[in-house]
Amino acid sequence: MSPVSTRMGRAKNFLAAHLAQNVLGYVSKNPEANFPRLLNLVKILAIQERHKNQIETVASYYRENPAIREYVHRLARNLHPNVRNRLLYNWFMNAMIFGIPRQRSLSAELGVNIPNFILVDPTSACNLACEGCWAGKYSPRKLSPERLDRLFNEAKELGIYWIVFSGGEPLVYPHLFDLMTRHRDMAFMAYTNGTLIDEKMADKIIEVGNFSPAISLEGWRERTDARRGPGTFDRVMRAMDLLRERGAAFGVSITITRENVMEVTSDEFIDFLIEKGVLYGWTFHYIPIGRNPNINLMVTPEQRAYLAERIPYIRTHKPIMIADFWNDGELVEGCIAGGRRYFHINAAGEVEPCAFVHFAVDNINEKSLLEVLRSPLFAAYQKRQPFHDNLLRPCPIIDVPRALREIVKESGAHPTHEGAETVLQGIIAAHLDERSREWGRVADRIWAERQQLKKARELS
């Protein structure tokens, strides 16, 4: 691209940024009238045709679905202007509308896949010791603020404007807010236990504007405290109240187990989350990795089938966005890990394909972002994606475990902590093989039914 074209592109993005942010303010005053106008503006600014089509789909949902309209109105009316103009704008415009086309262009130019976001652990330190924590076996480490600052600059050069923090507990990392302030044009989210969010921190979250905490819950008080420690549920409720009162955008992170699947997806619990101010939720099926892995906590095939119907129902009938990290494979065209749409950097700097696949070849402390994206581990991942034609079977850990064994062997990846290899061999691996076969039979039936329904709709 010529220097003149580059300057013109930057000028267009600058003007679009200010125009879109002004419109966001108008939307908050009268969302019924102005949200459709915002969508029309974004559709004009969108570079990719598929983004224009997606925006039209959103507009259709807004017109036709009362739950979607109520959700949009919650965003418009309840968020603090700092949050609305920084977090929402950075995520929607910088990360998606402008960022993804740049990622695609550079992927073709550089011959390497550029993901949409990065999951990074600033520290492995945590103020809790939750039973079964997926990260509970990592050695005590932390990344330097200098390396994180450089990582974020490298990311933006590649069109990546979305960073997700994990851990450990990200909020114990002393440089977190300084880094987010330095990178005001990025959107940040953190998986957090929420217990450190007091009045002072809630104020800082509003002040920085471009940060959203996703707070972990296991269900109601008894179940949350049983896994996370006495008093945790009440501390989380206090944190949510502080965030809601100030106009923060926050969500929940829920590990779904065989024991809590009905509790956390009940109307009562979902309505309670909405009342507390929760805007979105990430749900993760329990994976036997980390501290004291327990195969008996994995959801059954029947429960997973229930979730495949229940979570989409919640999304279309409640004013909250809930994602099912495994069953939503159909929406994202299979597994998103291994550098395809995201990857994980642990607190030691080791570059892993996924938060639950604890194997690595490279270390971000020793290489640039672009260099680690060329990892043989990622190459082995991406050439096998999607791992199954049935996109309800997207995961190389629990759905196609043979693929993960092949990837680790082919790339020469090493375990990043003691016990990580148990998903490849031994009792846990044998259980994953059997569970994948059991789910396969159920998933294939559901997939066939969905494809028949899809064809019927196309013909009608």
Which pLDDT score, from 0 to 100, does residue 16 have? Answer: 54
DSSP-assigned letters across all residues of 135-154: TTTS-S-B--HHHHHHHHHH
pTM above 0.75, yes or no: yes
- Within 176-231, residue ranges assigned H as helices are 176-182, 199-208, 221-228
Sign, CA dihedral 55-323-163-80, equals positive
Q: What count of residues does the chain have?
A: 460
Please tell me the distance from the alpha carbon of residue 148 to that of residue 91, in angstroms, as a whole number: 19
**Residue ranges per structural domain of the chain:** 3-96, 101-357
101-357: in CATH 3.40.710.10: no
Phi, psi of 189 (to 5 degrees): -130, 155
Please tell me the distance from the alpha carbon of residue 392 to that of residue 322, in angstroms, as a whole number: 17
Which pLDDT score, from 0 to 100, does residue 12 have? Answer: 47
Please tell me the distance from the alpha carbon of residue 175 to that of residue 182, in angstroms, as a whole number: 11
Cα-Cα end-to-end distance for the chain = 45
Which pLDDT score, from 0 to 100, does residue 93 have? Answer: 84
Please tell me the distance from the alpha carbon of residue 114 to that of residue 49, in angstroms, as a whole number: 19
- The two beta strands, 359-360 and 414-415, are antiparallel
Kindly compute the dihedral angle of the four CA atoms of residues 331, 337, 343, 344, in this order, to the nearest 10 degrees: 110
Q: Are 122 and 143 in contact (CB under 8 A)?
A: yes
- pLDDT tens digits for the chain (460 residues)? 444 444 444 544 555 555 555 656 667 778 888 888 888 877 887 778 888 888 888 888 999 999 999 999 999 889 999 999 899 889 988 998 889 999 999 999 999 999 999 999 999 999 999 988 999 999 999 999 999 999 999 999 999 999 999 999 999 999 999 999 999 999 999 999 999 999 999 999 999 999 999 999 999 999 999 999 999 999 999 999 999 999 999 999 999 999 999 999 999 999 999 999 999 999 999 999 999 999 999 999 999 999 999 999 999 999 999 999 999 999 999 999 999 999 999 999 999 999 999 999 999 999 999 999 999 999 999 999 999 999 999 999 999 999 999 999 999 999 999 999 999 999 999 999 999 999 999 999 999 999 999 899 888 7
- Cα–Cα nearest to 188, from 94, 264, 48: 94
